[in-house]
Amino acid sequence: MISKNESFSDALSAEKKVVFVAKKDLPALFDSLWTNGFRILGPTLGEGAIVYEELNGVGDLPIGWTDEQEGATYRLKKRDDEALFGYNVGPHTWKKFLFPPKHRLWSAEASTNGLEITEEKQVIQKFAFIGVRACELKAILIQDKVFLGGEHVDPVYHARREDALLIAVNCTQAGKTCFCVSMDAGPRAESGFDLCLTEVLKEGEHYFIVEIGSAQGAEIMANVPHSNETREAEKAIQTITAKTAKQMGRVMDTENIQSLLQDNFDHPRWDDVASRCLTCANCTMACPTCFCSTVEDVTDITGDHAERWRQWDSCFTLDFTYMNHGHARTSAQSRYRQWMTHKLSAWFDQFGTSGCVGCGRCITWCPVAIDITEEVSAIRENQTAAKPTSS
């Protein structure tokens, strides 16, 4: 839930902030969510990957599965245990629920009186996201700034985000394209969640340490059998996430990154990356913070009914910068530079935060394995084009 003005620390006064839930009691969490009117969305096997879809029970989770990731590579693999969350992030992001890939904004009728425009009603069964990783949680908070944080509020995002319950999961392992540590976005979910689970599989035991982050989270947990022994919980979470932090497959040096990219607009590396980049837009579709969209206006066969649809768009398409006198960014160089400079530099100017959370999706899902961390290093190591900013 988006934190309201209520002080949830007060509401929680009677509750422990950390509890233990046995694996066998996890179905009670699902029941509690359903009882409270939530639609449960989370990771499940599909399309040869771990994707985010509606879950009809704990059994829909990818139990005993993991993923292996590298640049342009994603493979599912069986684990030798029954972990529920023993994998990293897949091709889907939660933005597909909060900012659907294609949706109608309004409809219009041509009438004798001219034009009647009807706003699309946002009727949403409130979402419970289960399995939100720390990097993804940060990505949601970043998109909150884009769609809710300015003078105008996006009605589509707002309606979906307002009542969404976020159940985070701390990563117990990192993938080869992960670099959330570099982006200060994980592996531990620090805040912004309603509940946060840490999965523990140890000496024949299988349970979850559950941190309660909001009054709503506490309400959900009230119906879930749990033990209140919180001793050692904090230490256990720290131990597990510290181990994950050491496994990061990628590293990005973010020092002065905002000015680094601003100052290297003419760096030869842009030509180099453009010689590999297919401008396919996969990175932007897989990115949990990329928010660009376009609209399409359609009419039916009678010509009296028109609709406006909005759908995800990408700065990698030529059409993105079309104006009547030409396109602003025609070359692949300029489009890759726009994406990466926006993500790692302009985002700070616009929203006071990096646009990258180190989830690694753009590396895994790039068909030619372009690696944003490698591109940053290449520019950093050879700043021949850079001019001193102080002049």
Interface map 188-227 toward other proteins (x if CB under 8 A):
----------------------------------------
Nearest-CA neighbor of 103 among 44, 164, 155, 53? 155
Answer for which of 238, 256, 330, 382 binds other proteins (CB under 8 A) is 330
Of 14 and 115, CB closest to other proteins: 115
Residue 150's alpha-carbon distances to 60, 76, 225, 292, in angstroms, are 38, 40, 41, 16
Report the alpha-carbon distance of residue 341 to residue 62 in Å, rounded.
36
Subset of residues 335 to 354 that bind other proteins, contact rule: CB under 8 A: 338, 342, 345-346, 349-350
The conformation of residue 185, written as its DSSP 8-state character, comes to -
Of 56 and 330, CB closest to other proteins: 330
Contact between 385 and other proteins by CB under 8 A: the answer reads: no
Under a CB-based contact definition with an 8 Å cutoff, are residues 50 and 90 in contact?
yes
State in angstroms the smallest separation of the CB of 260 from other proteins: 14
For the chain, helix, strand, coil in percent to 5 are 30, 25, 45
Of 254 and 334, CB closest to other proteins: 334
State in angstroms the smallest separation of the CB of 174 from other proteins: 30
Nearest-CA neighbor of 87 among 183, 176, 212? 176
Written as one letter, the residue type at 233 is A
State in angstroms the smallest separation of the CB of 344 from other proteins: 12
Of 278 and 298, CB closest to other proteins: 298
Contact between 320 and other proteins by CB under 8 A: the answer reads: yes
Task: Write out the two tokens for 256.
Answer: 């002065």
Answer for which of 222, 278, 298, 368 binds other proteins (CB under 8 A) is 298
- The DSSP code sequence of 247-298 is T-S-----TTHHHHHHHTTT-THHHHHHHH-----HHHHH-SS---EEEEEE
State in angstroms the smallest separation of the CB of 98 from other proteins: 13
Contact between 331 and other proteins by CB under 8 A: the answer reads: yes
Interface map 109-148 toward other proteins (x if CB under 8 A):
-x--xxxxx-x--------------------------xxx
- The DSSP code sequence of 3-17 is --SS-HHHHTTTS-S
State in angstroms the smallest separation of the CB of 351 from other proteins: 10
Contact between 6 and other proteins by CB under 8 A: the answer reads: no
Under a CB-based contact definition with an 8 Å cutoff, are residues 249 and 176 in contact?
yes
Answer for which of 223, 293, 353, 377 binds other proteins (CB under 8 A) is 293
Residue 24 phi/psi, 5° resolution?
Answer: -65, -20
Answer for which of 101, 322, 367, 382 binds other proteins (CB under 8 A) is 322
Of 133 and 329, CB closest to other proteins: 329
Report the alpha-carbon distance of residue 246 to residue 173 in Å, rounded.
9
State in angstroms the smallest separation of the CB of 53 from other proteins: 26
Under a CB-based contact definition with an 8 Å cutoff, are residues 280 and 362 in contact?
no
**Residue numbers of the site for other proteins (CB under 8 A)?**
2, 105-106, 108, 110, 113-117, 119, 146-155, 158, 262, 265, 291-295, 297-299, 303, 306, 310, 313, 315, 320-325, 328-331, 333-334, 338, 342, 345-346, 349-350
